[in-house]
Structure 1
Amino acid sequence: MNSLNNLVRNCRGAGNSAFKRNMRELISTHKTEILILMETKVPFSSMGNFFNNMGFIAVIIVDPIGRAGDIWLLWDTAHVSIRASNATNQVSQATIHKEDYEEWILSAVYASPHPSQRDELWNNLKEIARSIEKPRLVTGDFNDYINHNERRSFSPHYNHN
């Protein structure tokens, strides 16, 4: 049985030459079939050809709303098929099918930095969990931490409350 290779990155910006060079290398090295990018800070329309040239011709895009959202789910249709089932500004959910594999659910998360909106996300994820019977992977950037020592921000004036 072949493996299914996923790559999940919070890239904090995309589109520059360093991002493109690193992404090409990661995809080539890991033989990536599903790619999830968050916090790209560029419109997908400016990057579509770049990903198409690497075989990622199918996408689910969640544009940002304020500081939440911006989830790109891309896949190589020669190896995997994906059916979107739910997309909000904090989670993109899809059913994944690959030959010789059991279908499974992927929940790609880019959580809001605001605690009340993150609570809404957690409630949504729990509700979804109650309604599915397939295996599920929940992955992404949850913008959550146990204490303030874990928090790392490049903006000293940003308040997470």
Structure 2
Amino acid sequence: MDICCWNVRGAASSKFKSNVLDLIHTHRLDMLFLCEPRLSGAKAISVVNAVGFSGGLWLLWDDSRVHVEVVGTSDQTISACLACNGQDPWLFTGVYASPNAAK
């Protein structure tokens, strides 16, 4: 299974969609974890929304190649149970945590 994590720092760019598609096709990604898309609400279908222009997390996957069941989210993590090609399922947790220890 091929997974990529990318600190995108904003998905509002006009080139964002084509860059993501190029990344997925070039590396034949099954799943993509995006940090800081900085979009939320009506502009984005995301699992953990951004607060203003701060943060946000997206987990994207190819349904034809991997079965994903999101089992938990927080403002700094997304956890999902993954199954691919008849193999035993396993737990994925994407983390983009604040450097502020109080958070």
TM-score by length of 2: 0.84
* Richer in helix (by share): 1
Shift in alpha-carbon separation, 1:114–1:108, aligned structure 2, 3 A: same
Matching of residue 114 in structure 1 with residue 100 in structure 2? yes
Q: What corresponds to 1:146 in structure 2? A: none
Matching of residue 18 in structure 1 with residue 2 in structure 2? no
Matches within 5 A, 1:11-90: 11-43=8-40, 45-47=42-44, 61-65=47-51, 69-90=55-76
| AA at the equivalent of 2:74 | T
Hey, what's the Cα distance between the residues in 1 that align with 2:62 and 2:85? 13
Contact 1:68/1:90 (CA < 8 Å) preserved in 2? Answer: no
Matching of residue 9 in structure 1 with residue 13 in structure 2? no
Q: What corresponds to 2:90 in structure 1? A: 104
Matching of residue 93 in structure 1 with residue 90 in structure 2? no
* Richer in strand (by share): 2
Matches within 5 A, 1:144-155: none
Instruction: Give RMSD over aligned pairs.
Output: 2.2
Hey, what's the Cα distance between the residues in 2 that align with 1:15 and 1:68? 13
Write the deviation string for residues 82-101 of structure 1: whole angstroms up to 9, x where unpaired: 11111111111111011232
**Structure 2 unaligned residues grouped into runs of 5+:** none
TM-score by length of 1: 0.57
The structure whose RCO (Cα within 8 Å, separation 6+) is larger is: 2
**Structure 1 unaligned residues grouped into runs of 5+:** 49-59, 118-161
| AA at the equivalent of 2:19 | N
Shift in alpha-carbon separation, 1:45–1:8, aligned structure 2, 3 A: farther
Number of residue-to-residue matches in the alignment: 103
Q: State the 1:40 CA deviation.
A: 0.6
